[in-house]
Amino acid sequence: MHRNPSRPLSPHLTIWRWGPHMFVSIANRVTGAGLATVGAAALVWWLAAAATGADAYATFVSWATSWIGIAIGVGLTWAFFFHLLAGIRHLVMDIGAGFELSVNKFWANMTILGSVVLTALFWFLILGVK
């Protein structure tokens, strides 16, 4: 395809100064894909184990309650809360609000902080840490 030399080139990602708003936008897509793939795999494994019998379910529970299972659970929980908050942020932006740079960066930072706080609170309640 021929490029018109009188038109400027589109800026590349290396030109832009990265900020939290750019991270949240990209991470929103990544967490959505991660939730769809890893979350679906965990759900299918759980359902198959429950349908197969007590031994298969015990194997699933032993993996899910091991340190790696809890780490995956914490990651999925963070991805869920992050995707939820980023989706709300994008919904607000879709109605035309929050495009001012300072407001956009503030809510991007609140999305990151909120997802970490909600994940910690969720696991605090689940594990019954006192």
- Where is the binding site for heme, in residues? 83
How many CB atoms are closer than 10 A to CB 120? 15
Cβ of 42: how many Cβ atoms within 10 Å? 17
> What does the alpha-carbon distance between residue 42 and residue 51 come to, in Å, rounded to a whole number?
14
Torsion sign over Cα 3, 9, 10, 12:
positive
Instruction: List binding-site positions.
Output: 83
